């Protein structure tokens, strides 16, 4: 496989793909133009292929706490989805069905016939869409704190009920105000460009039990990735297409392949209620001593669940 040439200007940036890959021994940066969009991905390990998709507001680097262990048994391919990190940020194509087509094209580009696919947050939505639309390519599906949008999202509170909005997210009455904020076009870019660190720090504290597990390097990596207006616009587009995603899901038959759903204290009960309706062979694991960012808070428990499932 031909290695891309390093850009000397990029190597001077401590948060560039070229600099960060040094924290992933034996992984390499790769780039491919598929389905009309240029995607960045990193690859390491050997064995059966395991595609990994990150969520908001992170990048491929979010798999750092688990990637090296996964690569001891599998060929791990971590993808910056459309609009994320060093991947292209076109003005369209952020519905999860189109993003799943991106992943299919990458799978075919790599010459893979079947893969297991794993996604967190928005990445879980894309992974699930991939399984719905291309089941013949999926060996097993793993989703963490992020299943495909359904009409349930439309019932989320605009105003939090009394006593439910404090410094930590209430699992019984979660108030995810950014779901609405990210629907707004144009304004978030103006407010957050150059200031994204403020949102990150607040968010990590709110949705993690122990946000000290999100290191200063990780915070800096994600702030650098989302600190410009174009990146904010692209990431918000993932949310702005939820209505289309909901309509698409109405036509999907239940998933037949084995599905592992890993939920934090925030999402577990909702995954337990919703996923049995769309996955016939469902394996549900709750990591209830973790908030939303499970890789960072409880990597050992995540790895145990994933390895037990993929055997």
Q: Name the residue ranges covered by the structural domains of the chain.
A: 8-155+247-310
Average pLDDT over residues 239-267: 97
Q: Are 156 and 178 in contact (CB under 8 A)?
A: no
> What CA–CA distance (Å, rounded) separates 234 from 226?
9
> What CA–CA distance (Å, rounded) separates 210 from 115?
33
Average pLDDT over residues 13-26: 97
Q: What is the pLDDT of residues 175-218, one digit of tens each?
A: 999 999 999 999 999 999 999 999 999 999 999 999 999 999 99
Matching residue, tokens 């369209």: 92
Strand partners, 142: 118, 260
Angle between helices 122-133 and 242-249 (to 10 degrees): 30
Q: Are 167 and 206 in contact (CB under 8 A)?
A: yes
Q: What is the pLDDT of residues 67-80, one digit of tens each?
A: 999 999 999 999 99
What's the pLDDT band for 5 if we cut at 50, 70, 90?
A: low
> What CA–CA distance (Å, rounded) separates 207 from 165?
12
What is the overall mean pLDDT for the chain?
Answer: 96
Q: Are 107 and 86 in contact (CB under 8 A)?
A: no
Q: How is 260-302 classified by DSSP, letter by letter?
A: EEEEETTTHHHHHHHGGGTEEEEEEEEETT--S-HHHH-HHHH
> What CA–CA distance (Å, rounded) separates 168 from 205?
7
Q: At a CB cut-off of 8 Å and minimum separation 6, what does 5 contact?
A: none
pLDDT score, position 10:
44
What's the pLDDT band for 9 if we cut at 50, 70, 90?
A: very low
What's the pLDDT band for 1 if we cut at 50, 70, 90?
A: very low
Alpha carbon of residue 20 to chain centroid = 18
Predicted confidence (pLDDT) at residue 12 exceeds the cutoff of 90: no
Half-sphere exposure (Cβ direction) of 269: Cα atoms closer than 13 Å: 7
Which of 1-5, 72-76, 134-138 has the lowest average pLDDT?
1-5
Q: Are 257 and 135 in contact (CB under 8 A)?
A: yes
Predicted confidence (pLDDT) at residue 8 exceeds the cutoff of 80: no
Predicted confidence (pLDDT) at residue 261 exceeds the cutoff of 80: yes
Assigned CATH for 8-155+247-310: 3.40.50.1820
């Amino acid at each position: 496989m031909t290695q891309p040439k390093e850009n000397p200007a990029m190597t001077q940036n401590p948060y560039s793909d070229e600099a960060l890959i040094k924290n992933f021994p034996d992984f390499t940066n790769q780039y491919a133009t598929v389905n009309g969009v240029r995607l960045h991905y990193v690859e390491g390990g050997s064995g059966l292929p395991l595609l990994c998709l990150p969520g908001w507001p992170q990048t491929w680097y979010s798999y750092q706490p688990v990637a090296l262990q996964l690569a001891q048994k599998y060929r791990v391919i971590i993808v910056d989805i459309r609009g994320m990190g060093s991947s292209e940020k076109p003005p369209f194509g952020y519905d999860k069905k189109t993003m799943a087509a991106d992943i299919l094209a990458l799978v075919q580009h790599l010459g893979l016939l079947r893969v297991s696919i794993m996604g967190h947050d928005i990445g879980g939505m894309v992974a699930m869409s991939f399984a719905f639309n291309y089941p013949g390519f999926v060996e097993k599906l793993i989703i963490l704190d992020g299943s495909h949008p359904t009409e349930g999202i439309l019932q989320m509170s605009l105003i939090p009920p009394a006593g439910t909005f404090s410094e930590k997210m209430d699992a019984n009455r979660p108030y995810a105000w950014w779901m609405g904020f990210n629907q707004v076009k144009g304004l978030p870019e103006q407010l957050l460009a150059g200031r994204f660190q403020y949102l990150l720090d607040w968010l990590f504290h709110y949705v993690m039990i122990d946000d000290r597990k999100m290191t200063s390097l990780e915070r800096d990596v994600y702030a650098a990735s989302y600190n410009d207006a174009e990146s904010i616009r692209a990431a918000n587009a993932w949310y702005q297409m939820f209505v289309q995603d909901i309509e698409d899901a109405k036509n999907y038959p239940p998933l037949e392949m084995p599905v592992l759903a890993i939920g934090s204290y925030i999402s577990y009960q909702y995954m337990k209620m919703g996923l049995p309706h769309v996955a016939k062979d469902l394996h549900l694991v709750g990591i209830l001593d973790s908030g939303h960012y499970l890789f960072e808070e409880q990597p050992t428990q995540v790895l145990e669940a994933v390895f037990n499932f993929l055997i």
